[in-house]
């Protein structure tokens, strides 16, 4: 027997009962970003592999192990984007959007692809909403990014369940000095490090800091601290950010081990983490990448941004039961018509009501059916009211309006008055 076709592991369908919550989240975020003056940009899902190698870094987990890379029919090496920052920088440069020091405040949404081991909150195709800002180099914009996410958590009802972790990685020179000190220290205790950290010590020593291995963590207690190696400019920048967060009343903790898994960061890095999702607790993460544009062939241009994982935020909304009631209901009114003549009239009537109430969610029964079966469908749809149109109603140009969720008695309403009547009894979504 042939094997039945299935979706690829770690790449999920979003089923009709789940999409309302996705759309709710997406519309909340996009409205918030509009209100703060950010503009949407849309980039392709596939880019030249070289783009990600050059920006994310050759010796990162993403580039070394997780990319979906293939050769296309021209022999070019292409990759499904594992994140959005690289492509956004590429697009901005290609179209000269940051030329002459122009400020850009951009956001994007879409699927990203990483060949990670799938588990709750970690998938191979996942979705991010990301924000990138160019040509603003002060801590005020770092603070704005954090403030707007804080507002979002408030609007979504998940603020109490997330915590902000902050760190500064300094300029690349400061980081190089710190890296040298860290390598010297860790090399002196090489035998006590786990195997993976020994490997990382050679390829990407800062990543040893976020090891999960308890023995290596114990060695790290006495390791040199990044904050002691920060250059003056980065230190002042970090102080400026902290002062703004204090003024805005946003709680945070400094996590000196926060280094991020992508190589392009400098100065500020941050993560919003939760303990509600098990192992995959980072719901939103980002930071500054002041050297990246230049490294990609552009003029020196500062950059800062973040991305949030949509699947993880959806899991948060579900876990914390922060699903607004109006999105659970998809239908306001369900129109049942009995007999051919009534069906014809129902179509015209429903279109008239739609003209008058463009936001009304009106579903018209399709496929005919007995009184009982149409009522069953009306009830199952979740509608607040069933409209009933049979031969008698047709003759008198009226409809029966029957409450389905216990809001009073059935009423008879003239066609001409129907829209007005529905407007008074339904709060439209
Ligand atoms: P990232 O930390 O790799 O950063 O990913 C950002 C967020 O995407 C994570 O915090 C998480 O919520 C979500 N995410 C990442 N991988 C997965 C996965 N396999 N399954 C589900 N969700 C996932 C970046 O991608 C940077 N581009 C962020 C940035 C923008 N930095 C500056 N600008």
Q: What is the pTM of this model?
A: 0.92
What lines the ligand 1 site, CB under 6 Å?
Answer: 83-85, 114, 116, 122-123, 126, 128, 130, 132, 261-262, 282-287, 305-309, 311-312
- Give domain status of residue 204, yes or no: no
Taking only the tens place, the pLDDT of each residue in 300-348 is 999 999 999 999 999 999 999 999 877 777 899 999 999 999 999 999 9
Does some domain include residue 217? no
Indicate whether 253 and 397 sit together in one domain: no
pLDDT at 429: 45
Model pLDDT, residue 1: 57
DSSP 61-78: HIIIII-EEEE-TTS-EE
Distance 262 CA to ligand 1 centre (A): 10
Query: Average of pLDDT values for 403-422?
Result: 92
The answer to whether residue 186 is domain-embedded is no
Q: List pLDDT tens digits, range 192-247.
A: 999 999 998 988 899 899 888 999 999 999 999 988 999 999 999 999 999 999 99
Whose CA is closest to atom 18 on ligand 1?
122
Start-to-end C-alpha separation, the chain: 48
Which domain CATH number covers 255?
A: 3.30.930.10
Could you tell me if 359 and 383 lie in one domain?
yes
Q: Pick from 319, 353, 372: which residue ends a domain? A: 319
Condensed to tens digits (0 to 9), the pLDDT of residues 381-392 reads 999 999 999 999
Gap from CA of 128 to ligand 1 centroid (Å): 7
What is the C-alpha to C-alpha distance for residues 364 and 410, in angstroms, rounded to an integer?
19
Does 210 fall in a domain?
no
Ligand 1 atom, smallest distance to 85 CA? 27
Give yes or no for residue 13 having a pLDDT over 50: yes
Output the CA 298–ligand 1 centroid distance in Å: 24
pLDDT in tens, 36-63: 999 999 999 999 999 999 999 988 889 9
| Boundary-marking domain end, from 258, 291, 319 | 319
Total structural domains in the chain?
Answer: 2
CB 237 within 8 A of CB 267: yes
Domain boundary among 300, 319, 338: 319
- Among protein residues, the one with the nearest Cα to ligand 1's atom 23 is 309
Taking every pair of Cα atoms in the chain, the longest distance, rounded to a whole number of angstroms, is 94
For a mutational test of ligand 1's pocket, the pick from 285, 296, 314, 315, i.e. the residue with the most ligand atoms closer than 8 A to its C-beta, is 285
Residue 428 has pLDDT above 60, yes or no: no
Looking at the structure, tell me whether residues 271 and 338 fall in a common domain: no
Q: Both 400 and 340 in a single domain?
A: yes
DSSP 122: B
Q: Whole-number mean pLDDT of the chain?
A: 94
State whether 414 and 339 are in the same domain: yes
- Structural domain boundaries, residue 277: 19-171+231-319
Q: 2 falls in which pLDDT band (50, 70, 90)? A: low
pLDDT band at 283 (very low <50, low <70, confident <90, very high): very high
Residue 211 lies in a domain: no
* 316 contacts 274 by C-beta, under 8 angstroms: yes
Residues 38 and 111 in one domain: yes
- Which distant-in-sequence residues (6+ apart) come within 8 Å of 129 by Cβ? 26, 29, 107, 108, 109, 307, 308, 310
């Amino acid at each position: 027997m042939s094997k039945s076709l299935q979706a690829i592991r770690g790449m999920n369908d979003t089923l009709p009962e789940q999409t309302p919550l996705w759309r709710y989240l997406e519309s909340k975020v996009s409205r918030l970003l509009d209100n703060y003056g950010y503009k949407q940009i849309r980039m392709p899902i596939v880019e030249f592999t070289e783009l990600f190698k050059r920006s994310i870094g050759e010796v990162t987990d993403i580039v070394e192990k997780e990319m979906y890379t293939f050769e296309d029919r021209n022999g070019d090496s292409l990759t499904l984007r594992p994140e959005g920052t690289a492509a956004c920088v590429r697009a901005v440069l290609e179209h000269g959007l940051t030329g002459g020091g122009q400020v850009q405040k951009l956001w994007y949404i879409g699927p990203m692809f990483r060949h990670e081991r799938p588990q709750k909150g970690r998938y191979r195709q996942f979705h991010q909403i990301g924000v990138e800002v160019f040509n603003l180099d002060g801590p005020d914009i770092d603070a704005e990014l954090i403030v707007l996410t804080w507002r979002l958590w408030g609007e979504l009802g998940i603020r109490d369940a997330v915590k902000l972790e902050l760190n500064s990685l300094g300029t690349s020179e400061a980081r190089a000095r710190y890296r040298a000190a860290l390598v010297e220290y860790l090399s002196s205790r090489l035998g006590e490090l786990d195997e993976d950290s020994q490997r990382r010590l050679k390829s990407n020593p800062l990543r040893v800091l976020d090891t999960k291995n308890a023995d290596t963590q114990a060695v790290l207690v006495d390791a040199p601290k990044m904050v002691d190696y920060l250059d003056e400019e980065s230190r002042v920048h970090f102080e400026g950010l902290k002062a703004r967060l204090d003024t805005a009343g946003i709680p945070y903790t400094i996590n000196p081990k926060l280094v991020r898994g992508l190589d392009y960061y400098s100065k500020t890095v941050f993560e919003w983490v939760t303990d509600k999702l098990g192992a995959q607790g980072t719901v939103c993460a980002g930071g500054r990448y002041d050297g990246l544009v230049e490294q990609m062939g552009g003029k020196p241009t500062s950059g800062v941004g973040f991305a949030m994982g949509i699947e993880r935020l959806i899991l948060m909304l579900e876990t914390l039961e922060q699903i607004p009631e109006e999105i659970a209901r998809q239908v306001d009114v369900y129109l049942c018509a009995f007999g051919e003549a009534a069906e014809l009239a129902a179509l015209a009537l429903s279109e008239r009501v739609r003209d008058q109430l463009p936001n009304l969610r009106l579903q018209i029964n399709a496929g005919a059916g007995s009184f009982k079966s149409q009522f069953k469908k009306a009830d199952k749809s979740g509608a607040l009211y069933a409209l009933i149109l049979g031969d008698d109603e047709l003759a008198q140009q009226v409809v029966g309006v029957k409450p389905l969720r216990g809001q009073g008695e059935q009423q008879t309403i003239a066609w001409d008055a129907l829209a007005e009547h529905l407007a008074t009894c339904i709060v439209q979504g």
